[in-house]
Structure 1
Amino acid sequence: MDIRTIKTFQTIVKHGSFQRAADELQYSQSTITMHIQKLETDVGLKLLERGKKLRLTEAGRLLNQKADVLLKDYDHLNSSMAELVQGEAGVVRLGVMEPTASYRLPAIIGPFLQQYPKVQISIQIGNTTVLHQMLEEDQVDWVICTTPDTGIGHLFEPLFVEKLGLLMPDSHPLAVKEAIYLRDLQNENLLVTTNVCPFRRKLESSLLEKGGSPYNGMEIGNMAALKFYVQASFGLAVVPYITAVPAPAGTVLREIEDLDSGLVTGLLRKESGAVLSSASIKLIECLREGLTKPLQPIDSAASPIFPSISSRNV
């Protein structure tokens, strides 16, 4: 059985006439007859008895009852496939590092999901190392991360630089210093993230190169928590500006004069692999545009809830 012959059968039943069915479907009457003959051959039973009035056989009645559900499912499938082709629906698996995941992404994907409500976005949050592994294992389609250690087998597209600054209690002597240099952090108690965090690696290599060593360190596993530990006077922290503007009460955020520009962040994907869906391509275009624009403040009270998003902290 094919869909065309079933549609023809149902149209004949609706009108009680081969001719009227031919008129609606814009077929010749011979085509209508051929469709019914083929359908009866496929089924192996007679479906219609002709006379002054068409009459359904038992097999015809059963087929007519089931045809509605079948055709509705077929139309739904056709519609879903068309939406997938056009990028109106689909699933996009995205891996994102902090602070981009919390501070930049909501303002970008909110309008995107309003425009494409049938697109489902799965967001996995982790550091660059973890996300790189997830990309290798095909758990995500794209990754937003810092520059990877190697470009072999991958394509990396830089989008923006995450600027870094020194956050400290406003009572700290460096808070009133005219200019702060990395050497000024020597022997200070620095709050740092885990040793796989690219922001920590950036800071430590810069300290070694420019005389800010030795120093004391306290490891805080979550970057978002650093500012609260600074606020509680546990030490100083070099943090992305985006996470500490405005600075928490009792703290000061200052530039470090000789700390080179922050970390380059961009889109990472495999050089070869699965063909990306239209929805994935549309979202990436949206991310490219949004992540290269100056950040706009987010009104958390007005932020929409996105039920199609899942996240995993690493």
Structure 2
Amino acid sequence: MDLTELIAFQTVMREGTFSKAAEKLNYAQSTITNQIKRLEKELGLTLFYRNWEATLTPAGQRFAEQVDLLIHHWRYVGDIAKQLNEEEIGTLHIGVTETWADRHLPAILYEFRKYKPKITCEITVGNSAFLEECLQEEKITLALCSDSESSHHFVFEPLEQESVSLVIPADHPLANTQTVTIDELLSHLLIIGQSSCKYRFEVEKAFRVYEQEPLFYTINQLSLIPLYAERLNGIGIVPSSLHVDAEYTRLPFPALDHYLQIGILQPRHIKYNSGIQQLFVEEVRKYFKAHH
């Protein structure tokens, strides 16, 4: 049994047919078939019924329950071997929200590089819902974002509370006010992040008790919201961790029920973090401990 056979089994199971698995892995279908045959011979089990769709046998179903753990353990052992036998190399695949990518991550990576200067880092920036999808698809192995509603699939370690701010341009009629009410916001154009943003969900709840609906312009790049608010004579609504130039008035968003929790989100099924990833997690914890 080797890692390629385990990945072939996992891919056939997920894709549903040998041909789709071969296309996914960029192999000939015969290669996938031979890998599954070798795996079945080594296990002494028949894992799939041989029909048009790759249907799991009862033994295959039981093996499927363990294959993710086996793959991650295999990679973990390989990572340890790499650390012991050669100069440490590898890639850290992480996701981060736009606000943290700007405000926190550069300082964390600066410290991380002191210990792992030869590690490649691939950074995916997006909102929390998008990063959760990336974790599920195994495009990243860790995300710095808000909590997931799927506690069955993820574990979450909170590190910081996130509030929501209004960003008001200098020439806007409300620029010199100390507070703004929901009633006042309803008469202005509001520039906000896309509907999948967790903070937008909290903002929308605040408007539900009003018969009049707010007028939202939606943009998926949060750093552009202040500019669009200025050019359109509107009011921006952003996470409070977003950097905003001093020329704008910044006020707390009224009537929020609670703060969002932002922290480290990881897949629950990964029992073994690589040494590289574990060190990065420790640097994240150290950073927030020092700054709070």
Tell me if the contact between 1:104 and 1:291 (Cα under 8 Å) persists in the aligned partners. Answer: no
Q: Does 1:279 align with 2:268?
A: no
CA distance in 1, matches of 2:144, 2:225: 22
Structure 1: 5+ residue stretches without partners: 1-79, 296-314
Does structure 1 conserve the Cα–Cα contact (< 8 Å) formed by 2:172 and 2:233? no
2:184 aligned residue: 184
Report the CA distance between 1:234 and its aligned residue.
Answer: 3.6
Q: Quick one: which of 247, 250, 253 aligns to 2:250?
A: 253
Q: CA deviation at 1:226?
A: 0.4
**One-letter identity of the residue aligned with 2:261:** V
> Which residue number corresponds to residue 161 of structure 1?
161
Q: TM-score, length-normalised on structure 1?
A: 0.61
Secondary structure of the residue aligned to 1:239 is strand
Aligned-partner Cα distance in 1 for 2:122–2:230: 33
Q: Is the 8 A contact 1:127 1:197 kept in 2?
A: yes
Q: Which has the larger radius of gyration?
A: 1
Amino acid at match of 2:240: Y
Match of 1:112 in 2: 112
Q: Is the 8 A contact 2:99 2:243 kept in 1?
A: no
Which blocks of at least 5 consecutive residues in structure 2 are unaligned? 1-79
Tell me how far apart the structure 2 counterparts of residues 212 and 109 of structure 1 sit (CA, whole Å): 47
Higher mean C-alpha deviation, range 134-143 or range 266-275: 266-275
Report what 1:64 is aligned to: none
Tell me the amino acid that sits aligned with residue 138 of structure 2: D
Find the aligned partners of 2:212 and 2:263 in 1 and give their Cα distance: 30
The residue identity in structure 2 corresponding to 1:225 is L
Paired with 1:144 and 1:179, the residues of 2 have a C-alpha distance of 31
The TM-score with structure 2 as length reference comes to 0.65
**Cα–Cα, structure 1 residues 280 and 244, in superposed 2: closer, same or farther, change >3 Å?**
closer
Distance in 1 (CA, whole Å) between partners of 2:226 and 2:181 is 20
Kindly state the Cα deviation for residue 162 of structure 1 after the two structures are TM-superposed: 2.1
In the other structure, the counterpart of 1:289 is: 286
Give the alignment of 1:119-130 within 5 angstroms: 119-130=119-130
Tell me, in whole angstroms, the C-alpha distance in 2 between the residues paired with 1:85 and 1:290: 30
| C-alpha distance after superposition, 1:51-107 (max 9, x if no partner) | xxxxxxxxxxxxxxxxxxxxxxxxxxxxx9463699954322111122112221011
Deviations along 1:259-306, one digit per CA (max 9) or x if unpaired, are 3444211111111136321111010111122245438xxxxxxxxxxx
Q: CA deviation at 1:111?
A: 2.0
Q: CA RMSD in A?
A: 2.9
In the alignment, which of 260, 263, 284 is matched to residue 260 of structure 2?
Answer: 263
Partner deviation per Cα, 1:114-167 (whole Å, 9 max, x = no partner)? 332022222112222222122112221111111212211211111111222111
**What percent of counterpart residues are identical?**
24
Distance 2:286 2:221 in 1: 28
Detail structure 1 runs of 4+ shifted over 4 Å in the superposition: 84-89
